[in-house]
Amino acid sequence: MSVFKSCDIRGLYGAELTPTFALELGQAIGTVLNGGRVVVGGDARPSTPHLKGALCEGLMLAGCYVLDVGLVPTPVLYFAQQWLHSDGAVMVTASHNPVGYNGFKLMLGEGPIAEAELAALAERMERREFRQGQGYWNRADVLEAYQTDLARFFTTGRNLRVVVDAGNGCLARLSPDILRRQGYTVIERFCEVDGRFPNRDPNPAVAAHLSGLAKQVVMEQADVGLAYDGDGDRVVFVDNTGRVLPGDRSLVLFIRYRLPTAQTPGERTVIYDLKCSSVVAEEIRRWHGLPRLERSGHTFIKTTLLREQAGLGGEISGHFFFGELGRDDALYATLLMLQLLSRADKPLSTLVDEIPHYPITPDLRLACSPETRDVILVDLPAAFADHEISTIDGVRIMFDGGWALVRASVTEPLITVRFEGHTQARLQEIQAEVAWRVPALGRLLKLEN
């Protein structure tokens, strides 16, 4: 399987990604950017210095001026690209993947990299068609400028008690420091940078990974818990009762907070991924906003946010995007949530309870052959031609009171299926109808059950 994914590059260090690969990637990027200015950062994984050093060497061989911002969260790299007016940016990280993995998040120009651009880089590396030049390297310290820029959007609120679970990732030092500067009481959890992730899995979107944080929030009588991923671009919130909030419910709180004062069509536009509950679109419309469904993935949400000049975007995985930044930022989302809570006269648990809750399944991972997968993805649109269907990523079928989503895995021989219904009974009816209309999928769902 290729290390070139739909939004980034990712693979096992030593087996799929090596310093030689990083060197040639740097040469390819430098060629595309014609020897321009490139900001480079990295996460705390043990393999990152090896890959980052080789990447920088490759960029310089192609004539680039490399601005190394050091060990930083991914949102700081995005800020640095804007602040330093660079032509491109590369973050060496495998985000939320286990410690044995690493990878690269790229920006070639002002927008996120597209699938076609990633494919072109892969082809260039295979052909070894690289620009020759004499570049140079310099260190750039951007953390203080980033913190100053972030703080200008927020005022100090009431003194909330906050448990920060950085998971030993890139925000381990930065998040507690910024929150204390803003006047909050911070209780630290795994706030020592350690790219081996010795205390918990770096993916906070799995509720089971946050059981310790949930218990500590209750024990400390804290107002909220915060959990970040490995490279610090995603945040998952835990309410004061210890409930882990899915990203779409946190997004609804942002919608309710921001849309009532939105003025322009852009500010009223909210981008959300196709795994989100129906309540997201309902809340956007309730506050006279414009819902825009998009496929899951940082690149796709951000591209649509920029194209439509949207005010807000979010994914169920904990990525949150803001029009005033033109990007996602977990710390910005953190400060917005804390400002929201500071101005509310209710605890977070009550605010969440006020959001409608519809029964929804997790991703059901159904093993199948490529032939069966292809039959299912062809049969679904035909079988539900009388329904509203989205095919931006797999097949999403809208029902009265719910939806079904079927997607093909790009890394494994399986499909993922997800259902939502406004009631438990409606959820079961939707599942039964999908199984009846598409027998090949019905057989897999029976195996799952």
The answer to whether 105 and 40 are in contact (CB under 8 A) is no
Can 342 be counted among the known catalytic residues? no
Neighbours of 325 (CB within 10 A): 17
SS3 content of the chain, % helix, strand, coil (to 5): 40, 25, 40
Which DSSP string do the residues of 280-332 spell out, in sequence order? HHHHHHHTT-EEEEE-SSHHHHHHHHHHTT-SEEE-TTS-EEETTTTEE-HHH
CB 397 within 8 A of CB 383: no
DSSP helix/strand/coil, 186 = strand
Partners of 312 in the β-ladder:
270, 322
Distance CA 303, CA 408 (A): 22
Q: Rg of the chain over CA atoms, in angstroms? A: 22
Token pair listed for 332 = 């910005």
Q: What is the DSSP letter of 92?
A: E
What's the token pair of residue 111? 């927008």
Question: Tokens in use for 371?
Answer: 């032939």
**DSSP 8-state secondary structure symbol assigned to residue 267:** H
Active-site position among 47, 86, 95, 342: 95
The dihedral sign for the CA sequence 259, 265, 270, 274: positive
Q: Which two tokens stand for residue 120?
A: 């072109």
DSSP 2-22: -SB-SSSEEEEBTTTB-HHHH
Report the half-sphere exposure of 437 (CA within 13 A, side-chain side).
19
The answer to whether the beta carbons of residues 284 and 278 sit under 8 Å apart is no
Active site residue 50: no
DSSP state of 244: B
Q: Kindly state the DSSP code that residue 85 receives in the 8-state scheme.
A: T
From 45, 234, 258, 319, active-site residue? 319
Buried b (16+ CB within 10 A) or exposed e, 369-380: eeebbebbbebb
The beta strand positions in 118-178, using DSSP E, are 136-139, 161-165
Residues with catalytic annotation?
Answer: 10, 95, 319
